[in-house]
Amino acid sequence: MDPMARVDCTQGSRVDHQRAPLLEGIVAYQQQGIVPFSTPGHKLGVGVDPRLRQTFGADVFSSDIPLGGGIGDTHFSGEALRQAETLAADAWGADCSFFLLNGSTAGNHAFLLATVRPGDKVIVSRDLHKSLLVALILTGAVPVYLAPRLHPDLNVGLGVTTGDVAQLLTQHPDARLIVLVSPSYCGVASDLNGIVRVAHERGVPVYVDEAWGPHFHFHPALPASAMASGVDGAVTSTHKVLGSLTQAAILNVHEGLIDAARVRTAVGMAQTTSPSVLVLASIDTTRRQMALDGEALLERTIALAENARDRLQQLPGIGVLDRAQLGVDAFDLTKLVIDVDGLGITGFDAEAALRNRFGVGPEMSDLVGVICLITVGDTQSSVDRLVAAFATLSAELFRGSARHATLRSSGQAVAPATLAMTPRDAFFAASRPVPLAAASGQISAELVIPYPPGIPVLAPGEVITDDKIAYLRAGAAHGMYLSGPEDPSLATIRVVDGVTKSPTSRHPVTTSPREAI
């Protein structure tokens, strides 16, 4: 039996957020003093390499017990996971929630597997994460890409508008699902309330990759969460900016247009049958922390982020994005998108200096700058260290002029592209490697994804353009990490063999007619 499938959407008569059923199960197991003859094979840490035990600490291994036969019996009849997921559904405002052990990736795969079939048309934002593109390949769904609007100067995605979605629904009345990314990697949220309204008027469900917004539901100064906006399904990564272990995430669902039982089955298909209780318990305790103290924790976090933003914006040669610059209302106040082109360096250079000279580790870097996350784990001391590092770089490098770089990764990643084949058809088609410099006009047979943030610059089935080649060559020359291509140096790229630009596909695809502004 699949332990991750033992979930239903029934709400108990009493919700007690003081409880943490999975953590309580670990404690109860330890108190029983059981001698295990089961997985994991390290047997409460006895069989672990001594150096690893010393580094991690013995308590980690004494807590690394099985879900079935540890917190519950070997037939998975225990109620701890079901109770924990019921509490999470209440905390995030969902009808039911599913704990995920492979990050939001597992939720994206599961939700699309549960809701679309081969040949179904899906309207999907072009700033989709790699995992959503893989979900399109797995399901055989036909994407109708919608390019988010771009800021004309900053080249930052400004989200998807209600009008854009309404237009595509009119052009594609047979669309079965709308898939959006909100917030974007740079922290911009789309108008989910409006999009849900126009989609539901046509009976079309809306799914949101909310990986970067697990905190939205717990503070009124942050953008409205996906569940509060009425979306039908949303995945959110509790490990990204909250207190869970890496890989921890939640898939939240509203019933009605969605068959929650089928989602439950798909979650079981997309996940391991040997779930880590450590990760599950960290989701459970994060839920408890946010339900009880989330608003207060986030009030402090937002204040720290605003303090950092204000101080950084005063440094010569340093720019930090804010709502006024972008012209948006819904923006993640905890995210610092810091441009350094005014210092005459790339973001890659800045990251190297931050790490090697100042012991400061940003979330990511690109040709323009770096992104730093301010979370519930930050303090005034950590923020002061970040600002001091940038102050030193500013004093050393600012010469009174800026290079005004324009190739921000999110901008090129979401740029409109011609889709000549479905991702599935292109991925499984016969292909051959060609020099990247000679690939213009060819159809990509593979994914090319700067990581982070994990947004594909090229996706299988898309026509390769000169602009994207130029961006990828410049990024690779400056040390950009590229996930997906067979040739990691990107000297060559695989293209569909024997076809150029507009082959006949089994599933013709129409892209959004709107150009980015």
β-pair partners for 179 = 124, 207
Look at 488 and 410; give whichever has higher pLDDT: 488
Structure token pair of residue 202 = 């046509």
Query: Within 13 A of 303's CA, how many CA atoms are on the CB side?
Result: 8
DSSP string, 199-238: HHHTT--EEEE-TT-TTGGG-TTSPPPTTTTT-SEEEE-H
Alpha carbon dihedral 321, 324, 326, 327, in 10-degree steps, equals 170
Read off the pLDDT of residues 223-261 as tens digits, 9 standing for 90 and up: 999 999 999 999 999 999 999 999 999 999 999 999 999
| Residues 6-54 pLDDT 10s | 445 655 547 899 999 999 999 999 999 999 999 999 999 999 999 999 9
Nearest in space to 271 (alpha carbons), one of 283, 289, 259, 286? 283
Q: In angstroms, rounded to a whole number, what is the distance separating the alpha carbons of residues 256 and 71?
A: 33
**Tokens 């029983």 sit at which residue?**
32
Higher pLDDT, 301 or 73: 301
Distances 482 to 108, 181, 204, 419, 456 between C-alpha atoms, Å? 21, 21, 35, 21, 10
Classify 466 as helix, strand or coil: helix
Taking residues 78-87, report their average pLDDT: 91
Cβ atoms 373, 336 nearer than 8 A:
yes
The 8-class DSSP code of residue 498 comes to: E
pLDDT value at residue 16: 94
Closest CA to 207 of 302, 157, 278, 141: 141
Q: Which domains does the chain show, CATH number per domain?
A: 3-292 (3.40.640.10), 295-397 (3.90.1150.150), 415-500 (3.90.100.10)
pLDDT at 404: 46
| DSSP run (H or E) holding 162 | helix 162-171
The whole-number pLDDT of residue 509 equals: 40
Task: Return the higher-pLDDT residue of 457 and 403.
Answer: 457
Phi, psi of 210 (to 5 degrees): -105, 35
456-510 per-position pLDDT tens digit:
888 999 999 998 898 888 877 777 778 888 998 889 999 999 766 543 333 334 3
169 contacts 199 by C-beta, under 8 angstroms: yes
pLDDT at 511 over 70: no
β-bridge mates for residue 77, sequence order: none
Q: Are strands 249-253 and 96-100 parallel, antiparallel or unpaired?
A: antiparallel
Q: Which residues of 8-41 are buried (b: 16+ CB within 10 A; e: fewer)?
A: ebeeeeeeeeebbbbbbbbeebeeeeeebeeebe
Question: If residue 88 lies in a helix (H) or strand (E), which one and from where to where?
Answer: helix 80-92
- 180: tokens are 């959006």
Neighbours of 258 (CB within 10 A): 21
Residues 462 and 175: their CA atoms lie apart, in Å, by: 20
Kindly give, in sequence order, each residue whose CB lies less than 8 Å from that of residue 269, ignoring residues fewer than 6 positions away.
Answer: 110, 113
Q: 467 by DSSP, 3-state: which?
A: helix
The three-class DSSP label of residue 349 is helix
